[in-house]
Amino acid sequence: MRFEEAGSAVVDALEERTEAELSGAQTLEAAAQRFCEILQETFAESTVLARVFATVPYGALPGATRTFVQRLEGVDRLTPRTPVLALLGTRGALPRWNSRQLSEGHLGIPLASAEFVDAIPMIASLVRQLGVAIADAHGVETGIVTQALGAAAGVFYVDDAATAVDSQGRRIIAARDFVREHGVRTVFGFGGAYAITGTFVVTILFTRESIARSHAERFMRLANRFKAATMRPVGRRNFFA
């Protein structure tokens, strides 16, 4: 199925499946991985890559992810509370995209400062579109402040991955080879914050089709269903297996 073919009945069914298959997950990682699999299986004709990221305190990251974050250029002043937008789930057209441990460049992105985030066009656009402001990462556990949109659910949308630029004229999707080789067209996502912890979670979909923003917004309610199904592991800070 293609995303543009999905009507309300399809989204309703996805909501029900999300609740049924994710509510028993012991960790956010397990739920995120299954959610990516559900989306890829449902929209296999169009999905190049589906990924779920969430803000996790630096001190709660697995060892390999902590090491990855430490080695990023321009990162300093990391503390156990520094929020990191960590890769929790991934499913795509290539086998290496089906395990977060195999990610070469996106295991974790520290949200340590507005300046660091702004240097990454896609992440800068994502947090801006989803209504997230970067706060002093050393003063609060999450380091982010969700505005009205981000607190509930919002949509991240890039009409054409090959041509879209931000306000500074930078390509929002910077991985040019990835876009060209896999025919990536519209990139969209949906996410929001958990009221109980402030943890922010977002699903991002790289697709082979051109999708209208109004149609991408139909999937926004999946963000709230995902959060509802995963409140238990998030509340217990059970992020990773």
- What are the pLDDT tens digits along the chain (241 aa)? 999 999 999 999 999 999 999 999 999 999 999 999 999 999 999 999 999 999 999 999 999 999 999 888 777 778 898 889 999 999 999 999 999 988 877 899 888 777 777 888 888 888 777 766 555 444 333 444 444 334 456 889 999 999 999 888 999 999 999 999 999 999 999 998 898 888 999 999 999 999 999 999 999 999 999 999 999 999 999 999 8
Residue 29 in any domain: the answer is yes
Looking at the 3D structure of the chain, how many domains does it have? 1
Degrees, nearest 5: CA angle 41-164-10? 25
* Within-domain flag for 240: no
Look up the pTM and report it: 0.90
CATH of the domain at 19: 3.30.450.40
Residue among 170, 219, 158 at smallest CA distance from 6:
219
Q: What is the pLDDT of residue 152?
A: 55
In this structure, is residue 61 part of a structural domain?
Answer: yes
Digit-coded pLDDT (tens) for 33-64 = 999 999 999 999 999 999 999 999 999 999 99
Task: Decide if 162 is inside a domain.
Answer: yes
Per DSSP (E only), the strands in the chain are 47-57, 83-92, 108-110, 132-134, 144-146, 154-158, 187-193, 200-207
26 assigned to some structural domain: yes
Residue among 19, 13, 34 at smallest CA distance from 224: 19
- Residues of the domain holding 179: 3-235
Is there a domain that residue 241 lies in? no
> Is residue 74, in this structure, part of any structural domain at all?
yes
Residue 89 domain-assigned? yes
